[in-house]
Structure 1
């Protein structure tokens, strides 16, 4: 990583992190992994080790978790894209009292071979023409059908997957490395996050374990928290683009316009950072509250900030770093695709609806 990027991490993120303990040690380890974020097996193994001691969201250390996600995205966006769903899955399992390896849930995810070494994804998207159904048989639950947008399904050992029981969605844990589970290898022509293949997966009577009752996944207290964890990754990825803006503004050839670009980026990132900080405090002080409105506000604020930074970097720096600087070009492309998890006007409309519902309530 270039020196200026390391400086950016120290000035904006590292002072907020403990000098020792869970949230600092993983970054030190990550720096020692060659091709961190691009070496998928090594990075996934790092995610598993990192998750082993992860504190739960809503447990008083939410800001610490988001600091690590942001710092990971600053180091490599793809690595954060791997870590976030793994931590989300562990949090969901914890909430469902189906702790990995303990077998103390209603059935126990150890029944599908999951243990502390498992790597997890969360596959909850739906797509036109695709449907995954769950059926209870004499020997347990099975999944049949196709699930879209399953990130890294060919690389992970397990996943939490939503499936239909009749017309109601329910969450299930499933092992991915079985003959009954067949991940597609595409289509995936993405220029951003090229290694994070998010393609359909076919299930043919795959054994599954229910995680929580029907409808629980969407109504559980922490459902909205995962969306804000993604926003923390967006923020860290956007911070990584500031190094180029700062270098341009500090150049002997710089004019006031270069300072404008840097100032605009700094302002929106600072506001987004404050938003994440307040949200973390609210989650920790009111973990049982309805966080849907909070999550929509946080995601909108951070997505807007990240988009502004992308635009400022493109305008200020021109095509040069996009065609000659591998780290910058990769970061910009990765962030651009990652931000598509925010659905623009549709998410803004949902925010507006939640605001009105809150006022009426």
Structure 2
């Protein structure tokens, strides 16, 4: 009998192996961990499956160990969910996928199923095997296409990524020259589908997982050497994380109950709430623990460097003008 181990147990085994590996070549070990995670993708629930919260738990779990790994895996899973939602089924168990949808100042050109130009902010550019790439067609509509990345017509430039945070994603610019591209879905279907916003909530789950792990360092420190100031910070952050976690539960239930709805407003609020919570965690945990973990704990130091960059990279800035137009009653996260 083929008995499958629950995905969260399998994920934790992969993460523990990555954390305990003493090899200096962390990039190689991270890529190997990503390949192992990709092999579990068929056991990860899609959004709207009735197990949306469990999907987000997996992203958060990975982010608590390594945000770069979480970003790469979340992008792979998002690509497969997009293909599933748009009715284009692919075998994703053996290849690493990505979604490259950031728009730069020079638009990508696609004509006669050939792609030319430059795509910005492509995470995993050196090792991703297939990518879903967004571009604008001649009518200005958003279109999505699949590109096989092992082609000589593709050139990767990693020299433009200057941030210390999220360096391990190997994010770069990718140049295409008459590269074959296969169109997916109808024009604007990528943006119009309900899953666009469901995926945006999955990214926020990565932020949350990193913040929760950072807070755990403070919690452990309070147990080992308590003082009133650290306890005060711990209390505030515990409250913020608990409220945010409860809102993730709430949104996941809404998505599973009404899978054809985008829940855009609620997910915008969720992302704003999670971002504010993360920034407060960064501030207070850093203040409470001082310099030592920044200098001596590689997980703590990496999460502190990566999390602000990941949030900004995810285009997480909240649309305050839009939210100001909503009434106070509409903003109630508890209203069913």
Q: Is the CA contact (8 Å cut-off) linking 1:37 and 1:79 kept in structure 2? A: no
SS of 1:170's equivalent in the other structure is strand
1:344 shift after superposition: 6.1
Q: Which residue of 1 aligns with 2:111?
A: 135
2:196–2:262: 8 Å Cα contact kept in structure 1? no
CA distance in 2, matches of 1:247, 1:40: 26
Aligned counterparts of 2:132 and 2:39: Cα–Cα separation in 1:
19
- Which residues of 2 match residues 270-281 of structure 1 at below 5 A? 270-281=242-253
Alpha carbons 1:237, 1:331 under 8 Å: kept = yes
Runs (5+) with no aligned partner, structure 2: 331-336
Q: Of 164, 183, 196, which residue of structure 1 is paired with 2:169?
A: 196
Who is 1:257 aligned against?
229
Tell me the alpha carbon deviations over residues 307-356 of structure 1, each in whole angstroms, 9 at most, x when there is no partner. Answer: 11111111111222212222211111111211213556553334445x47
Determine if contact 2:272/2:318 at 8 Å carries over to the other structure. Answer: no
CA distance in 1, matches of 2:59, 2:114: 34
- Cα 1:342–1:304 change in 2 (3 A) is farther
Within the candidate set 158, 170, 184, 1:185 is matched to 158
**Which residue of the other structure, out of 179, 182, 193, is the alignment partner of 1:209?**
182
- 2:202 is the counterpart of 1:226: no
Matching residue of 1:327: 299
In structure 1, the residue matched to 2:122 is: 150
Q: Partners of 1:297 and 1:259 in 2: how far apart? A: 28
Corresponding residue of 1:13: none
Partner of 2:333: none
Q: The residue matched to 1:31 in structure 2 has which SS?
A: helix
Which residue does the alignment assign to 1:15?
Answer: none
Give the Cα separation in 2 of the matches to 1:286 and 1:65.
17
The answer to whether the 8 A contact 1:300-1:348 is kept is no
| In 1, Cα distance between equivalents of 2:155 and 2:322 | 34
Secondary structure of the residue aligned to 1:55 is coil
Q: Taking structure 1 as reference, are residues 294 and 346 closer, same or farther at Cα in structure 2, changes over 3 Å only? A: closer
Q: Distance in 2 between matches of 1:239 and 1:281?
A: 21
Question: What's 1:28 paired with?
Answer: 13
Structure 1: tracts of 5 or more residues without a match: 1-18, 102-114
Taking the TM superposition and a 5 Å limit, the aligned residue runs for 1:1-361 are 20-33=5-18, 34=21, 38=27, 39-101=29-91, 116-128=93-105, 130-136=106-112, 141-166=113-138, 167-252=140-225, 254-341=226-313, 343=315, 346-352=318-324, 355=326
Q: Give the superposition deviation at 1:195.
A: 1.2
TM-score (norm 2): 0.89
For residue 49 of structure 2, give the secondary structure of its aligned residue in structure 1: coil
1:343 to 1:44, Cα distance in 2 relative to 1, 3 A: closer
Shift of 1:222: 0.4
Corresponding residue number in structure 2 for 1:3: none
Tell me the TM-score normalized by structure 1. 0.83
Divergent runs of 4+, >6 A:
none
Equivalents in 2 of 1:328, 1:235: separation in Å? Answer: 15
Cα deviation per residue 1:53-72 (whole Å; 9 max; x = unaligned)? 22211110101101111111
Deviation, 1:22, is 2.9
Cα 1:307–1:160 change in 2 (3 A) is same
Give the corresponding residue for 1:5.
none
For the 8 Å contact 1:124–1:161, the answer to whether it is kept is yes
Cα distance in 2 between the residues matched to 1:165 and 1:250: 58
